[in-house]
Structure 1
C-alpha cells in the first residue's frame, strides 16, 4: 500500500516479526484513518465511537497523543453530518480533546491548541505541518474553522505546507460532509481526474457506512 507513514510501516514490521502490537508510534496516521469511524457512528453513540477509533489507532500507534488526536478526529467526523455549520466543529473538538486526553493520560496541550484555533490565535509553524498528531488536528480544525468553502479549505490546507496530503484530506473529509457527491464534483472539477477505486466499490462503502450509522 503506497503512502503508509513511518509509524504504520514500523508497526506492520513489528507484527510480522513478533506477532505483537506496536510499542511506539506517535504520528498523525491515527487521525488520518478514523474519519469513517465517525461518519458511521451517530453523535449519541460516543462510547462505541471511541472504542472503535481507539482500537483502529492502537493497531499501529501506541502513543497516547496519537490516540487522543484520533478520538478528536472521529468525533468531528461524527458531528460533521449533524451540525449546521462547519465552524461548530471546533467546539466539538475542544470537548472531545478534554475527554480523550484525560482518559488516556495524554499530553493536555491539545486542548490548549484547539482553544487557540477557536479564538483565532493559533499559528502554523513556518516550516509547515509535520507528522505530530496534535499539530495535524489543530491545522485541520484551523482550515475547517476559517474556510469559506470546500475548495477554500483545501487550498488553505495545502498552503500550510509540510504534510499537506494528510491535512488536506482530513479537511476535505470534514467539509465535504455538507455536500452531495454531485456538488463536490462541481466545487472540485479536478476531482474527476483523481484515481479512485471502482465506482461500485465506493458506492458499496458509502452504503455500508450509512447503514452502520443508522443501525
Structure 2
C-alpha cells in the first residue's frame, strides 16, 4: 500500500510539474514572442520576470496552454481520446476570445462542426498550401502522455489529436515524439531516444533532433531565428535540448526564451518537459504566483492522474 501511495505521489508530482511547467513557460515567453535573439537574450540576461507586456498581463498564458488545458479536461472527463469532445472544446475556444490562436488552427476550427469537419478543413488547407507543420500540435499534446502508459495508444492518440488542426504528418509525428519523451521521463528511459523513434520518415524532424542530441546549439539558434521558427521540428528540438542540457527548470526555460522567435511555444514545450522531470517544486515561486487559473490547471493535472491507464 505504501509503495502504491508513493508511486501515486510521484506521478502527481510529475504530472502537475508538466502542466504547470508548460503554462508558466508559455506565460513567461509570451511578451517576447517574435523578438530577435539579441533582444530576447538581453531581456533574459537582465532578469526576466513574470511582468507581462506586449498585450499580455502578468501570468497570462496563450493559445498553447488554452488548448493543452482543453485537451486535459476532455481526457479527465471522457478518457483517451474522445475526439468529438476534444474538437467541441477546441471549436468553442476558437470561437471565443482565443487570444494568440495560430492561423492553421483558426482555419481548421472556427467554422467547423465536429471532429470530422475540423479534420477535413485541416486537410483542405494542407492541400492548398503544403505548409501545415506548425508547432500548434506539439504545444498541446502533453496531456495525452500524462494520461496513458501505453506507448502505442499514446502515439495513436497524439496523431489523432494533431490531425484535428494540422494535416501535415510531421505535425502528428512531433506530437507523438513529445509524448514519447514525456513517457520516457516517467519510466527512466532516454527521452531523446524515445522521441527519435517517433519521427522516422520525417527528415526535418530527424535533422532537428540530431542537432539536439549533438548539443548543436548554433543550429537550433539558427532554426529559432529563421523561417522555420514556428515549425513543429524547431520547437520540439528546442524543448528536448533544454531538457537534456539544463540543470534546472528555470535554466532551461530561460535558455529557450533567449533564442527569440516563437518564445512562448518554445518555452511551453521546454517547460512541460523540464517540469515533468523536476516536478512542480522546480518552478520558481515568483513565476508561479501570478499564473492565471492555476487552480484550474491543478485540477486538470489531478484529473489526468486519476484517468491514467
Same fold (TM over 0.5): yes
Residue 176 of structure 1: how far off its partner (Å): 0.7
Greater relative contact order (Cα < 8 A, sep 6+): 2
Instruction: Give the whole-Å Cα distance in 1 for the aligned partners of 2:287 and 2:192.
Output: 28
RMSD: 2.2
- Residue 195 (structure 2) pairs with residue 90 (structure 1): no
> Using the alignment, how far apart are the partners of 2:279 and 2:205 within structure 1?
32
1:133 is aligned to: 232
| Structure 2 counterpart of 1:191 | 288
Does the aligned pair in 2 maintain the 1:151–1:188 contact within 8 Å? no
In the TM superposition, what are the counterparts of 1:153-192 in structure 2 within 5 Å? 153-181=252-280, 183-185=281-283, 187-192=284-289
Residues 256, 263 of structure 2: 8 Å contact kept: yes
Matched ranges for 1:37-76 at <5 A? 37-42=144-149, 45-76=150-181
TM-score, normalised to structure 2, is: 0.59
Q: Which runs of 5+ in 1 are unaligned?
A: 102-106
User: CA 1:14 to 1:64, structure 2 compared with 1: closer, same or farther past 3 Å?
Assistant: farther
Q: 2: distance between equivalents of 1:92 and 1:20?
A: 30
State the alpha-carbon separation in 1 of the partners of residues 299 and 258 from structure 2: 33
Comparing 49-58 with 115-124, greater Cα deviation is found at 115-124
Distance (whole Å) between structure 2 residues aligned to residue 55 and residue 114 of structure 1? 22
* Count of residues in correspondence between the two structures: 197
Say if 1:27 and 1:66, in contact at 8 Å, map to a contact too. yes
CA-CA distance at 1:53 after TM superposition: 0.7
Give me the whole-angstrom Cα distance separating, in 2, the residues matched to 1:91 and 1:138.
12
Relative to the length of structure 1, the TM-score reads 0.82
Q: Contact 1:7–1:26 at 8 Å: present in 2 too?
A: no
Deviations 1:1-37 (A, max 9, x none): 2121111011113525x93521123211010110111
Of 226, 247, 266, which aligns to 1:148? 247
Q: Which residue of 2 is the match for residue 19 of structure 1?
A: 117
Distance 1:202 1:70 in 2: 20
Look up the SS of the partner of 2:176 in the other structure: helix
Match of 1:113 in 2: 208
Decide whether aligned partners of structure 1 residues 195 and 204 sit closer, same or farther in structure 2, where only a CA change above 3 A counts.
closer
Provide structure 2 residue ranges, at least 5 long, that are not aligned to the other structure. Answer: 1-97, 127-131
1:9 to 92, 106, 110: 106
**1:142-179 Cα shifts (integer Å, max 9, x gaps):** 12121111100010010011001001011111111134
Q: Residues 21-71 of structure 1: CA distance to partner in whole angstroms, max 9, x if unpaired?
A: 2112321101011011111112xx111101111111100000111111111
